[in-house]
Structure 1
Amino acid sequence: MNPIVLVVTHKPEVMLATSIATPINVNHKIDVPPHWLSDNEGDNIAEKNANYCELTAMYWAWKNLPKEYTHVGLFHYRRILKTQPSIKDYWVAKYSLGNENLNDYFSDDSLENLLARYDLLLPKEESQHMSIAKHYKCRHIPEDWDVLISVLREKHPITFDEIDSYFNQTKSQFWANMFVMKRDIFAQYCEWLFDILFEVEKRIQVSAYPYQARVFGFMAERLMNMYFQVFVKDLKVKRLPCVMKRDI
């Protein structure tokens, strides 16, 4: 087993770094240590980071990571999946930290123990008072969602009813595009995801408002939830709490 977890950062410091957890820089206006990975090397979409967020690092990993890695993961500079178990994990979906260290919640050994038993590690879902579709339309640009749904209908006519039902009936989801998964599952997911998003990109006018301009990162959060419920159903999946460092 030889996993790697990319810790995506746009700041010159990173809160988690181990032999497996490896920083990758997505902000090329700052100076970072020379051993960090960078999303603007090789085959990349780094120039789209304002719209694709952490997905530029995901794309880079898909296209450029050496074949020696058996598993691929994605964390954020202040958000990670909690691999160190505790009794509270049974009822807590998210831990919010002050001065605590992220390394207290993650270790290489605990990750490898999980990967020996599961195909896929995902965040725990969080309940909400509306469907995934309505939630997106309330918080983002509704017309963008409509375009995404049109693309999904065109590309997946046979399974579209199940896709549509999932988005309009499910009232829980996980966030942040975080995961750790087997390399072949990762490659299949990336091929599917970017095919969808690149087609949507051709059809929408990206907002000039910086928050809403992060449209493809927002869409990918919803798409990942759906993909592993509708398209891939036979995996051994472990749901883990998210740990977030505040005020960084």
Structure 2
Amino acid sequence: MKAKIYIASHKLYQMPKDPLYQPIWVGHAKSNNPLDLPAGWIADDSGDNISAKNSSFNELTALYWAWKNSDADVIGLVHYRRYFSLNHKKGLANILTDDQLGNLLETSRIILPKKRRYYIESNYSHYVHAHHKEPLDKARELMDAHYQESFDKVLKKTDQHLFNMLIMSRSELDQYASWMFPILFSLEKEIDTSGYDPYEKRVFGFIGERLLDVFLDANNKQYIEVPFVFEEKQNWINKGGRFLMRKLTGGKNGK
């Protein structure tokens, strides 16, 4: 069984040498140096792709590429600074190995990062305090009643899987991507993002994060959670300050 974990990156960065991992340059269709691809990397604008949408779909352009073009039986997506790690330690020497992945796959065909827990607010309130609420509400309208029921259930919770990080068997990814991407493509036609700032224009990547748990719940999927590490330092004081400011100001307010 062939497994491949794609590492989404938009810039040069140190990459693991383990052949399990494959760096993929996201948004390559609009790269300033389209021919300057590092050795061993692939670009997300080859084959069947949505590379040109990277500014609004984020790392999902890499997931789409893998779904449509990879010949692997198991497909994963991580970020250039964020990896699965069983011992939860930083450094490329500590990231998930092929042997470890094989052991995990004996139990489940879906592997996800540990959930982020909010405690004091729901997944829905967290989103609308940070982003425009219209796309999230509109995404719900684009689902059938069964998925809407799961949407409501998931968005009322206070924990969720984020970052669009995942590892799935080919069959599981086919089912997930075949459901998620059509919703995002339809949503793209339904909402006007011309007034959004560059960060908020990444809306379809943000919505995609929220759709994963809806899919899992609606289809009663079983999965394993694995710790993940962020390879760079994070300023938790600044992050906490921005969170409190969003709470006090009501986030994006309305749209």
TM bucket normalised to smaller = 0.7 to 0.9
Identity of aligned residues (%): 34
SS in 1 for 2:183: helix
**Which stretch has the larger CA shift, 7-16 or 179-188?**
7-16
2:248 corresponds to which residue?
Answer: none
Q: Structure 1: any 5+ residue segments left out of the alignment? A: 90-94
User: Take 1:149 and 1:223, find their aligned partners in 2: how far apart are those partners?
Assistant: 9
Contact between 2:15 and 2:23, CA under 8 Å: does it hold in 1? no
1:240 corresponds to which residue?
Answer: 226
Number of residues paired by the alignment?
A: 227
Contact between 1:81 and 1:240, CA under 8 Å: does it hold in 2? yes
Coordinate RMSD, CA, aligned: 1.8
User: Take 1:162 and 1:184, find their aligned partners in 2: how far apart are those partners?
Assistant: 21
Q: Label 1:183 to 1:210 Cα distance change in 2 as closer, same or farther (>3 A).
A: same
| Structure 1 position 122 matched with structure 2 position 112 | yes
2:184 corresponds to which residue?
Answer: 197
Query: TM-score, normalising length from structure 1?
Result: 0.85
1:140 corresponds to which residue?
Answer: 131
Q: C-alpha deviations, 1:191-244, integer Å up to 9, x for none? A: 100011011100111244111011011001111122112x22143x11011111
Contact between 1:17 and 1:23, CA under 8 Å: does it hold in 2? no
Contact between 2:147 and 2:214, CA under 8 Å: does it hold in 1? no
Query: TM-score, normalising length from structure 2?
Result: 0.83
Contact between 1:50 and 1:214, CA under 8 Å: does it hold in 2? yes
1:64 corresponds to which residue?
Answer: 69
Q: Which amino acid aligns with 1:19?
A: P
Q: C-alpha deviations, 1:165-198, integer Å up to 9, x for none? A: 321x211112110011111100111110001101
User: Take 2:125 and 2:154, find their aligned partners in 1: how far apart are those partners?
Assistant: 12
Q: Label 1:247 to 1:64 Cα distance change in 2 as closer, same or farther (>3 A).
A: same
Q: Structure 2: any 5+ residue segments left out of the alignment? A: 235-255
User: Take 2:63 and 2:201, find their aligned partners in 1: how far apart are those partners?
Assistant: 18
User: Take 1:104 and 1:182, find their aligned partners in 2: how far apart are those partners?
Assistant: 23
SS in 2 for 1:51: helix
Please show how residues 90-101 of structure 1 align to structure 2 within 5 Å. 97=90, 101=91
1:170 corresponds to which residue?
Answer: 157
SS in 1 for 2:103: helix
Q: Which amino acid aligns with 1:244?
A: F
Q: Which amino acid aligns with 1:121?
A: I
Contact between 1:44 and 1:59, CA under 8 Å: does it hold in 2? yes
User: Take 2:83 and 2:32, find their aligned partners in 1: how far apart are those partners?
Assistant: 24
Q: Label 1:17 to 1:75 Cα distance change in 2 as closer, same or farther (>3 A).
A: farther
Q: Label 1:247 to 1:163 Cα distance change in 2 as closer, same or farther (>3 A).
A: closer
2:145 corresponds to which residue?
Answer: 157
2:239 corresponds to which residue?
Answer: none
Q: Which amino acid aligns with 2:102?
A: E
Q: Which amino acid aligns with 2:121?
A: M
- In the TM superposition, residue 70 of structure 1 has moved relative to its aligned partner by 1.0
- In the TM superposition, residue 159 of structure 1 has moved relative to its aligned partner by 4.3
User: Take 1:158 and 1:225, find their aligned partners in 2: how far apart are those partners?
Assistant: 14
Contact between 1:5 and 1:20, CA under 8 Å: does it hold in 2? yes
User: Take 1:13 and 1:246, find their aligned partners in 2: how far apart are those partners?
Assistant: 12
Contact between 2:9 and 2:24, CA under 8 Å: does it hold in 1? yes
Q: Which amino acid aligns with 2:161?
A: F
